Structure 1
Amino acid sequence: MRIRSLGTRFAIPCVAIGLILSGCSADSGVTPGSATVGSTNDINPHDVADLREGGNLRLVLSAFPETFNYLQIDGGTNNTGDVIEPVLPSPYTSDAAGELAINHDYFTDIQLTGTDPQQVTYTINPKAVWSDGTPITWEDLRSQAAALSGRDPAFLVSSTSGFERVEKVERGVDDRQAIVTFAQPYAEWQGQFSPLYPKATTESAAAFNDRDRSGLAVSAGPFQVSDIDRTQSRITLSRNPSWWGATPKLDTITFSVLDSSAWLPAIQNNELDIAYMSGIENVTAAKQAPGVVLRRTPEPSWSHITFNGAPGSLLEDPQLRIAISKAIDRQGIVNAAQNGVVDDPKTLNNHIFVLGQKGYQDNSAPISFDPDAAAKMLDDLGWKLNGEVREKDGRRLELRDVMYQQDGWVQVAQIVQQNLAAVGVKLNIQTVPGTGLFKDVIDPGNFELAQFSWGGSVLPLTALPQIYAYDPNNLQGNKARIGTPELNALIERTMSELDPDKAIEMANQADQMIFAEGYSLPLYQASGTYAARENLANYGAFGLASADYTKVGFLK
């Protein structure tokens, strides 16, 4: 589930933001909200003095993490991200407006100390230790930078996170200071080392890929992983006895893996303390449950359809992808999905920025809904109708759409299926449980269309090299296997631009190229609607903010 913006981390694929479609919101008792990110959030803020000591925060996952190493290709998902956020260091926190501040639990100071070459100095909190008692030092940063540099392909990374631009990481005035020097400038350097792992996890490819496969070896947050019960599909976090910061109010945090259809019943039966609610029926039913309130803040997460354009694939031709895109009524999907939940449902028309975020502009003209134009393009490309389905060179234009096994995703796919049938394209719908969807299906490229969501952050440019740059030998987050040398070069220049306004302008130029390639169809961004226990404080719909797990708890 996507509880919050993950602050400065890179974009992560999510499976459970598909919304249950609804035709009518009459008499729901729910006032529609916005889907445009802003400067406020809804977390029931309280002074910690108002909270009772102890308690267990019950959260939900859509699937068991494939690995607890968020940096590894199998771990860069929202399920892993949710579990490790309370247990690992991050250099920055973000507030409701998306403004960054140094996370002083881990770093006393972080400064951009040079621009030619770019240099960043990290001064580590002298109290900061890993849960095994080992101090957090500059060597942890050096080792992680080397692992994510991309120089050794044996490290199967989710994203290089700009470390491919780092020339060296050196010891500063002592072991508690790291000086990072860049060979090339990196615009979003504040997103690096988030999260930070110990050097034991990153010092070799074998450790990086497998040390935290079955559990987290060490941690360094207010909580630590204390129990992993695969039989019950449950992960428990408990207070970290080595934690040096403010004592958490909670005793434990428990993650349960549940099918999305079970989230509403679990809220109604007081088995969860908070869960994302999708569609007006679910939102209405949750609002009516005793002791439950709605917490709502739009967040930088969005649903989309990604095409598989790998060399030799059915959709290798970008013009074919554009033709199919133009046949799909995105606004119709959004109207159906967010009716009654959002006051003015709008399509998301940018791959980098979300509505309300600085830099957002509509770049979607190449994929504007026009079924007549789509049919003509298909004809011109040689895909001729033979009965109800088009064919070319004896091959039928028959596509497989894969997605998380959730009603909302299926219903979106059914609309797409109807849209494509109208222009002679057959769509087959395949659902997959959350566990294995990426590792076994999407990452290997076993699809023509894939529906899932990206969870973004306050540093949106990081998505460009992670998702939209194309290197066939190092795909990172490029599930589509689509890209061009020209786009790669523009992404490189964008990520090297230290002037934020110029970087935004260049990012939009890149987005125009991404749309022209027929990379994917952005659908809608998440409304950020959660059902929560009314006595749960300092936790809820975070929007752009990060959570402070030392302040989360239940009212007295």
Structure 2
Amino acid sequence: MKKYTTIGGVALAATLMLTACGGGTPSGPASQKAEESGGDISKLISVNAKEAKDLEQGGTLTLGVGSIGPDFNGFSNVGNSADNSALMTPVNTASINSGGIGGCWKLDFDGKAEPNKDFCEDVKSEVKDGKQTVTIKINDKATWNDGTPIDVKTFENTWNMLKGEDKSIDIVTAGAYAFVDSVKAGANDKEVIVTTTQPVFPLEGLFFGLIHPAINTPEIFNTGFAGNMHPEWMAGPFKVENYDTTAKTVTMVPNDKWWGQKPVLEKVIWRQMEPSATIAAFKNGEIDAANGRTLGRYKQLEGTTNSEVRRGQRLFAGGLNLNAKRPALSDVAVRKAIFTAVDRKAIRDVRFNGLNWSEESSGSMMLMPFSEYYQDNYPVKDTGADAAKKVLTDAGYTANDKGIMAKDGVPVSFKITNFGDDPTTAATSQTLQKQLQAAGMDVSIDQRGDADFGKVIGGREFDVTISGYTVGPDATDAVKQYYDSATNENGLGDAELDAEIKRLATIADDAERNKAAMEVEKKHMEKYFSMGTVLNGPEIQFVRTGLANYGPSLFKSLSNVPDWTTIGWEKGAKK
């Protein structure tokens, strides 16, 4: 499942935080460029890797986060944000279903999956007569915090909640669970036998995140986590010590019930903060990392005492997120005109000015340009204001007395919802606004705080946002989430594409399957115009000197922490 994510501010929520134009060039590498297919992805990783045994045992790590909650169920639409994933990973490795680790699986830097032996010691698959049997050996010690064993009941409940049959359960996508026929015990309750109605690939599409057996009704799933973290239904190397709703902080300490590797740190503190507040907090030593993804932020953070910069690639795709269920955007011609009006290079120039980062236009929501399976699927080649006006004119729109394109007396009028207080966010939203206005559209800005993100995005309370999703190494899960008519948030699609999506999950060959997924994306984009990639962007982190195993990590971690048990401080560094 792909998480909504931010490009710029402190939050890992969902908006693109893009930079204002400004002079000056930050220090650091003279130039850094996004890697393309076949490139050296090691250039995009920077974590100060150290063995846990070589670090100072103990210490506190304090991080800022754009939003804490308000819903902590990462499997639901309201809880489906990268902020939520980052916050919950240390305390609920069992359930986190995005990023580099979760449930049965963990990813390496390059996106290759292997069993996460803290939970699933072995996963085997056999395909016979068009059916698949998956056998999972669960770690005997694996247990939820409330003492409930992680066994076949957990796996059965995960399937029941996510398979998509009960439409009242607010899941993001059923994904591969829609093809599961049964989940039963094998030799004992710690062996799970999964059978499918058709083969399912990649295998990590199943049980990349587990759901506690007590989360077993639509009511609990949809609303039971509103303002309630439910630590008893978690399992991970840390546990929640305190969730202070007034101070907007969450404090975590090592989990005495954790059976896996013990963490180095003795405490992790998360503080909900607007992006602008993280700058002063980092400079004053109140938090230990802050992103510098915009020029304004970079220049303010640059030169902070006892700090260093770690740079790499952000696993993000997005920029155009259109809510086709809103009246103003229900006409596909309007959505196509938006895609046509956008000058993606101009937006990237605003975003990356002074950051020593360059990239070509990306054309996929599902794969990064450095993926061997990538192809450019952006559906419009002839762009600009005049081309966008022609799209509308051909669809029966004409300019009214105010110069706004209208049809049947109704003008093309909508809002761009912008999150956070980073000035570059406003500058980029305004850049997009001007591009659309030049094409004869009446466009205003709806300004919201970062903390509103989950509510606005999960509740679909927007027309357009400059936002997107995290990107994984394989397109199979994403193609169903984004483009299946029954599961994508806009309800756009058709029977032909749905059949192609269903079929591609049966393809065992990775290259063939991903090629088929990319063709589905190409056809969907050309027909429906609901999401488009403007940019990917860099990951730039200012980090307290001596912090080890933290920074841009590609697929191993979308929240800059490759392993929460090994992050810590070098000896003699800040604790």
TM norm. shorter chain > 0.5 = yes
User: Which residue pairs with 1:306 in the alignment?
Assistant: 321
CA contact (8 A) 2:142 2:149 kept: yes
Report Cα offsets for 1:324-369 as digits up to 9, x if no partner: 2111111110111012324323222112111101211112242542
Q: CA deviation at 1:237?
A: 1.4
* 1:465 aligned onto 2:480: yes
Contact residue 20 and residue 428 of structure 2 kept, 8 A: no
AA aligned opposite 2:41: S
Using the TM superposition, give the Cα deviation of residue 12 of structure 1 relative to its aligned residue in structure 2, in angstroms.
0.6
Alignment pair present for 1:104 and 2:104: no
CA distance in 2, matches of 1:221, 1:23: 43
Could you tell me which of 146, 153, 160 is aligned with 2:167? 153
Task: Give the gaps of 5 or more residues in structure 2.
Answer: 9-15, 95-102
Closer, same or farther in 2 for the Cα pair 1:26/1:79, shift >3 Å? closer
2:260 maps to 1:245 = yes
Q: Does the alignment pair 1:362 with 2:376? A: yes
- The 3 A distance-change label for structure 1 pair 22 and 436 is closer
Match of 2:100 in 1: none
Residues 303 and 526 in structure 1, CA contact (< 8 A), matched pair in contact too: no
Deviations 1:52-96 (A, max 9, x none): 111111122111212222112221111221122122222122222
User: Are 2:511 and 1:509 equivalent residues in the alignment?
Assistant: no
Distance 1:508 1:458, change over 3 A: closer
Which of 187, 192, 212 aligns to 1:178? It is 192
Say if 1:96 and 1:544, in contact at 8 Å, map to a contact too: yes
Aligned length: 539
Amino acid at match of 2:440: G
* Alignment correspondent of 2:60: 56
- Out of 392, 395, 403, the residue aligned to residue 378 of structure 1 is 392
In structure 2, distance between residues paired with 1:321 and 1:212: 35
Distance 1:412 1:81 in 2: 26
Q: What TM-score do the two structures reach when normalised by structure 1?
A: 0.92
- Call closer, same or farther: CA 1:52–1:444 in 2, change over 3 Å: closer
Moved more, 379-388 or 171-180: 379-388
Instruction: Decide which moves more: 179-188 or 362-371.
Output: 362-371
- SS of the residue corresponding to residue 435 of structure 1 reads helix
State the Cα deviation string for residues 122-145 of structure 1 (Å, max 9, x = none).
101112122223321111011111
**Against the structure 1 CA distance between its residues 360 and 25, is the aligned structure 2 distance closer, same or farther, given a 3 Å change threshold?**
farther
Q: Deviation at 1:316?
A: 2.0
Q: Given the alignment of the two structures, is residue 12 of structure 1 paired with residue 3 of structure 2, yes or no?
A: yes
Letter in 2 for 1:85: T
Is residue 69–residue 454 contact of structure 2 (8 Å, CA) maintained in 1? no
Alpha-carbon distance in structure 2 between the residues aligned to 1:505 and 1:430 = 38
Question: SS where residue 305 of structure 1 aligns?
Answer: strand
Distance in 2 (CA, whole Å) between partners of 1:444 and 1:240 is 34
Match of 2:91 among 87, 94, 113: 87
| Structure 1 counterpart SS, 2:243 | strand
The equivalent of 1:408 in structure 2 is: 424
Cα gap change, 1:22/1:155 in structure 2, threshold over 3 Å: closer, same or farther? closer
Query: What code does the residue aligned with 1:433 have?
Result: G
**Alignment RMSD, CA only?**
2.0
- Partner residue in 2 for 1:35: 34
Task: Indicate conservation of the 8 Å contact 1:295/1:541, yes or no.
Answer: yes
- What's the CA shift string for 1:358-392, capped at 9, x where partnerless? 21111224254233222222222222112321222
- Map 1:136-215 to 2 at 5 A: 136-201=150-215, 203-213=216-226, 214-215=228-229
Q: Give 2:55's aligned amino acid.
A: L
Distance 1:27 1:61 in 2: 27
Q: Does 1:495 align with 2:505?
A: yes
How far apart in 2 are the matches of 1:231 and 1:24?
37
- Whole-angstrom distance in 1 between the partners of 2:382 and 2:192: 49
Deviating more after overlay: 430-439 vs 392-401:
430-439
- Secondary structure in 2 aligned to 1:156? coil
The aligned residue for residue 543 of structure 1 is 554
Deviation beyond 4 Å, 4+ runs, structure 1: none
**Partner Cα separation in structure 1 for residue 256 and residue 315 of structure 2:** 34
Q: 1:530 aligns with which of 530, 541, 550?
A: 541
Residue 4 of structure 1 is matched in structure 2 by none
In the alignment, structure 1 residue 434 sits paired with structure 2 residue 445: no
Greater Cα offset, 47-56 or 364-373: 364-373
Which one of 382, 396, 417 corresponds to residue 433 of structure 2? 417
Q: What whole-Å deviation, never above 9, does each CA across 1:366-424 have from its counterpart, x for those lacking one? A: 25423322222222222211232122211111121113134333222211121122221
Which residue among 80, 83, 95 is the counterpart of 1:76?
A: 80
Quick one: which amino acid aligns to residue 233 of structure 2?
A: V
2:468 to 444, 453, 457: 453
Give the residue type in structure 1 aligned to 2:520: A
- Counterparts in 2 of 1:397 and 1:220: CA distance versus 1, 3 Å: same
CA shift in 2, pair 1:402/1:240, >3 Å: same
One-letter amino acid matched to 1:98: G
The verdict on how the C-alpha distance between 1:328 and 1:438 changes in structure 2, with shifts beyond 3 A counting, is same
Deviation of 1:46 (Å): 0.8
Q: Does structure 2 conserve the Cα–Cα contact (< 8 Å) formed by 1:25 and 1:340?
A: yes
Q: Would the alpha carbon gap of residues 15 and 298 (structure 1) be closer, same or farther in structure 2, given more than 3 Å must change?
A: closer
Task: Please say if residues 292 and 531 of structure 1, whose CA atoms lie closer than 8 Å, have aligned partners that are also in contact.
Answer: yes
Partner-residue secondary structure (3-state), 1:507 = helix
The letter of the residue matching 1:35 is A
Give the match for residue 349 of structure 2: 335
TM-score, normalized by length of structure 2? 0.89
Name which of structure 1's ranges 401-410 and 254-263 shifts more when overlaid on structure 2.
401-410
* Compared CA separation, residues 410 and 490, structure 1 to 2 (3 A): farther
CA distance in 2, matches of 1:436, 1:496: 39
Mapped pair 1:396 → 2:433: no
Q: Is 2:56 aligned against 1:46? A: no
Q: Secondary structure at the match of 1:200?
A: coil
Letter in 2 for 1:21: T
Output the CA distance in 1 between the equivalents of 2:25 and 2:181: 60
Task: Name 1:5's counterpart in structure 2.
Answer: none
Query: How far apart, in 1, do the equivalents of 2:450 and 2:25 lie?
Result: 33
Return the alpha-carbon distance in structure 1 between the equivalents of residues 206 and 425 of structure 2: 33
Relative to structure 1, the CA distance from residue 36 to residue 305 in structure 2 (aligned partners, 3 Å threshold; closer, same or farther) is same
Q: 1:277 aligns with which of 286, 292, 306?
A: 292
User: Aligned partners of 1:446 and 1:219: how far apart in 2?
Assistant: 30
- The CA deviation at 1:488 is 2.0
Please tell me whether the aligned partners of residues 352 and 460 of structure 1 are also in contact (alpha carbons under 8 angstroms). Answer: yes
Partner of 1:3: none
**Alpha-carbon distance between aligned partners in 2 of 1:178 and 1:205, rounded to the nearest angstrom:** 24
By how many angstroms is 1:24 displaced? 4.8
Asked whether the equivalents of residues 400 and 427 of structure 1 are also in contact (C-alpha less than 8 Å), the reply is yes
- Corresponding residue for residue 23 of structure 1: 21
Residues 368 and 504 of structure 1, relative CA distance in 2, 3 Å threshold = farther
**Identity across matched positions, percent:** 24
Counterpart residue identity of residue 288, structure 2: D
How far is the alpha carbon of 1:493 from its aligned partner?
1.9
- The residue type paired with residue 97 of structure 1 is D
Q: Distance in 2 between matches of 1:323 and 1:480?
A: 17
Does the residue aligned with 1:206 lie in a helix, a strand or coil? helix
